[in-house]
Amino acid sequence: MKSHCLLLSLPLIFVATFGFPQSQSEFPPQPENSIDQPARLELIKLTNDAFEAEAWKQNIEGKVSLALTVDASGQVLEAAAIGGTPELFRAAVDDARHWQFEPPDDAPVVTTAEVSNGRPKECPGTISTSGAVGSSGQLRDKDGQSVAVWEGNEPGLPPYPAADRKAGALGTMIFSITLDYDGKVKDISVVKSLSPHLDELAVQALRAWRFKPLDQNADLDQDLRLEITTKQCAVCGTKFIQLQ
């Protein structure tokens, strides 16, 4: 029984940066205005539907540098890709045309931006957005041999509260378990802890488990070990960075 990152959505890492130096490239032409000193604008509406869909469709990570002309209402008049991952140019430009900035004082103005995406990955607990709990469901003896396995469709794994995740309670918990004659948990104790709170939640969940011996003659009333692992498996979240 493996752990999975069960997320309702898989947002891409999306970084917009404004005011970086002009890229030297042979990509589609920039707007007519010079971007040697791009304007610093505040982005108030960011659309990334096309960029996200294309990245996932092609199963790629990448970034696109853009040159944008913004009118007096803060809408994007022109958008051109000036560097980055060619497969994502069209999608990035299509999205950028729907961006909305705070109306500039002296319009039209030109700015530059970069959008990038990344696949879900492990993150530090302090900035993770989700996590997962998993276990093989196997009870092993002191020699590491599997003696019994969890019996049923899907065991009641303990929850992984956000407070524990963000506090860095990450890794593997180990429990010592003895069973009665019909495979029910008789005694349980913590061998390796991640946090007192997680220990308590795991013990509560494990008391409801029932195991099936792999050998009918196996000694179930001995010190058997079970591992439960936690991991932070969400993307690091959506970021917006505007350079000075």
Residues 105-156 pLDDT 10s: 888 999 888 888 766 555 566 656 677 788 888 999 988 999 999 886 555 8
The burial class, CB within 10 Å (0-12 / 13-18 / 19+), for 70 is buried
CA–CA dist 71, 110 (Å, integer): 9
Task: Give 125-231's CATH code, choosing from 3.40.50.11390, 3.30.2420.10, 1.10.10.10, 3.40.309.10.
Answer: 3.30.2420.10
- 75 forms beta bridges with 100
CA 61 → CA 111, 152, 195, distances in Å? 24, 39, 36
Domain range list for the chain: 8-119, 125-231
More confident residue, 45 or 55: 45
Same fold, 8-119 and 125-231: yes
Q: What band does 165 get if pLDDT is binned at 50, 70 and 90?
A: confident
* Architecture of the CATH domain 8-119: 2-Layer Sandwich (3.30)
Q: Which of 4, 7, 36, 9 is nearest to 20 (CA)?
A: 36
| Residue 37 in this model has a pLDDT that exceeds 70 | no
pTM of the model: 0.48
Single-letter amino acid, residue 237: G
CA–CA dist 168, 163 (Å, integer): 9
| Residue 238 in this model has a pLDDT that exceeds 70 | no
- 101 forms beta bridges with 43
Which range is least confidently modeled, 23-32, 40-49, 230-239?
23-32
Which pLDDT does position 154 carry in this prediction? 57
